[in-house]
Amino acid sequence: MIDLNLTDVKHVQALLKIKEAGSANPFIAFLEGEIQDAAARLIKADDTVTIHRLQGRAEAFQDLLAAIEESHKVVKRS
């Protein structure tokens, strides 16, 4: 999980700009695609190292999407 309260305001504002661009934003679509790809590869993974790597990859992208979604709350407080 990315703690936006500890993140530089400029970075949070950059995340907010991505959010404000809407769901048609190519970066958001890229992240969602990467999550789907990791999930598809995770289903086929047969060794624990690959499974852990793919879980971490999917979690990182999900955390970034969550940070984008929550960025407006932090910008309002600053």
Task: Sketch the domain layout of the chain as residue ranges.
Answer: 4-77
What does the pLDDT read at residue 78?
63
Q: What are the φ/ψ torsions at residue 24 (nearest 5 degrees)?
A: -80, 0
Which residues of the chain are modeled with pLDDT < 50? none
The DSSP symbol for 78 reads -
CB 2 within 8 A of CB 10: no
What tokens does 35 get?
Answer: 């999550």
What are the residue ranges of helices labelled H in 1-78? 9-20, 26-44, 48-77
What does the pLDDT read at residue 62?
97
What does the pLDDT read at residue 23?
72
What tokens does 27 get?
Answer: 């970066």
Tell if the pTM clears 0.85, that is, is over it.
yes
